[in-house]
Structure 1
Amino acid sequence: MYKIIENVDHDAWLKARMYGIGGSDASAIVGMNPYKSNIDLFEEKTGRSIPRDISDKPYVRYGTLAEPLAREQFKLDYPEYKVEYHENRILRCVEYPFLQASLDGELTDADGRRGILEIKTTNILQSMQYEKWKGRIPDNYYIQVIHYLIVTGYDFVVLRAHLRSDWGDDRRTTIKHYFLERSEVEDDMRMLFREEKRFWAYVEAGRKPPLVLPEI
């Protein structure tokens, strides 16, 4: 369902991902990104604005440095999965080339089924943030992983979340795992696929889409 784009370095990867919709873009299209609207995304994809570089932000640097360690720990915790990772690789949908994915890991289970590993590191600054992780994946990350299922055609997702919080002088990390089967989210995949096609038609036409407001 996809072709593999190997990029020589991180800068080439950043440039290549501008040619389509990636996992972190998907939630903005449906109004579920707390930091970016679909209009902001449209302006970026049409070259009318430049995405803000946040790579030097402490929380972003922490996540970047922690990711390979979290991936290795996942291997120890779940040896039943074969885990593969390819730095600076983009998977691009063959039929719809504007759909693409950069994965934190690719999984193969004991039955030979293929899956996606997604790793998140989050600073919990108030109890309301922690509530978003109770028993479910927060909406923006949920949209991201079902986008990956659309692009890859894989069977399942495992999201590993490292939730950091400070309790007085004590810094704690809670690790949570969320398991999604493709068969359980097919309706949401169809909805997202429809909205992504609609959004990209606006990009190709250079015509600004209607603003999508998040649900209250």
Structure 2
Amino acid sequence: MSVKKIVLSSREEWLKARNNHIGGSDASACVGLNPYKSNVELWEEKTGLRQPEDISGKDYVIYGTRAEEHLRALFILDFPEYRVLYDENNMFLNSDYPWMHASLDGELMDQEGRDGILETKTTEILQSMQKEKWHDRIPDNYFCQVLHYLAVTGYEFAVLKAQLKSEWGGELRIATKHYFIERKDVEEDIKYLIEAEKRFWNFVESGRRPDLILPAI
């Protein structure tokens, strides 16, 4: 296995490069666990039949993009035992899985010298159902994203830092959660996702439309 990290010169170049791969935010759609996009819609995007929706101007996307550097800085302050690195417009490629790429919010190194992943999320809790998805667990679509990054990089662990905003009774509340994931505990999940993404990419390369994966009720 050969893992290569490249740094693109601009976001535009990064966006162009990611079209030829499955990225972390695509991973959950491949297995029917993305609440916003089906596997068929993703296939249509990757085969050029559908233009991906441009959400860059939406308030929650702008907030999340601007918050990322601050959340990373807070992680550095709160967890000094980790070394944190970050390159803008980074892209990891793995020779074993040429259909996949990973772009990380941060690279970690723990006190044992092990390499890891930092992923940051911001979300606004509007319903109790959304709050439940974060209770002692990571929402399925974000869990798939972390598994995808572990697969591509080969790293040993991941930390997901999530800022959850909610408003109850006119009062703004902000909670921060940290989820620590060891690769050895999710190896079977990683293998399952790799095989699912490989099957999906075969549909992309062949031009055959996949069957719709319906979400579990």
**Fold equivalence (TM over 0.5):** yes
Q: Shift of the alpha carbon at 1:93?
A: 1.1
Taking the aligned partners of 1:169 and 1:138, their CA distance within structure 2 comes to 26
Q: What is the identity, as a one-letter code, of the residue corresponding to 2:193?
A: L
Taking the aligned partners of 1:8 and 1:27, their CA distance within structure 2 comes to 28
Taking the aligned partners of 2:169 and 2:77, their CA distance within structure 1 comes to 30
Q: Shift of the alpha carbon at 1:210?
A: 1.1
Taking the aligned partners of 2:51 and 2:3, their CA distance within structure 1 comes to 27
Taking the aligned partners of 2:181 and 2:43, their CA distance within structure 1 comes to 29
**Displaced runs of 4 or more, over 2 A:** 167-170
Taking the aligned partners of 1:192 and 1:66, their CA distance within structure 2 comes to 29
Query: TM-score by structure 1 length?
Result: 0.98
Taking the aligned partners of 1:160 and 1:6, their CA distance within structure 2 comes to 23
Taking the aligned partners of 1:44 and 1:128, their CA distance within structure 2 comes to 29
Q: What is the identity, as a one-letter code, of the residue corresponding to 2:176?
A: I
String of CA shifts for 1:148-205, please: whole Å, max 9, x gaps.
0000000001000000011233212100000110000011111101111111011011
Taking the aligned partners of 1:127 and 1:205, their CA distance within structure 2 comes to 42
Which residue in 1 is equivalent to 2:173? 172
Which residue in 2 is equivalent to 1:204? 205
Which residue in 1 is equivalent to 2:157? 156
String of CA shifts for 1:14-52, please: whole Å, max 9, x gaps.
111111000000000000000000000001111111100
Q: Shift of the alpha carbon at 1:5?
A: 2.5
**How many percent of aligned residue pairs carry the same amino acid?**
59
Which residue in 2 is equivalent to 1:101? 102
Structure 1 gap ranges (5+) = none
Which residue in 1 is equivalent to 2:15? 14
String of CA shifts for 1:60-96, please: whole Å, max 9, x gaps.
1000000100000000000000000110011011222
Query: What is the root-mean-square deviation of aligned Cα atoms in Å?
Result: 0.8
Taking the aligned partners of 2:13 and 2:61, their CA distance within structure 1 comes to 19
Taking the aligned partners of 1:96 and 1:19, their CA distance within structure 2 comes to 12
Aligned residues: 216
Taking the aligned partners of 2:31 and 2:45, their CA distance within structure 1 comes to 16
Which residue in 2 is equivalent to 1:122? 123
Q: Which is worse superposed, 91-100 or 79-88?
A: 91-100
Q: What is the identity, as a one-letter code, of the residue corresponding to 1:80?
A: E
Q: What is the identity, as a one-letter code, of the residue corresponding to 1:14?
A: L
SS of residue in 1 equivalent to 2:37: coil
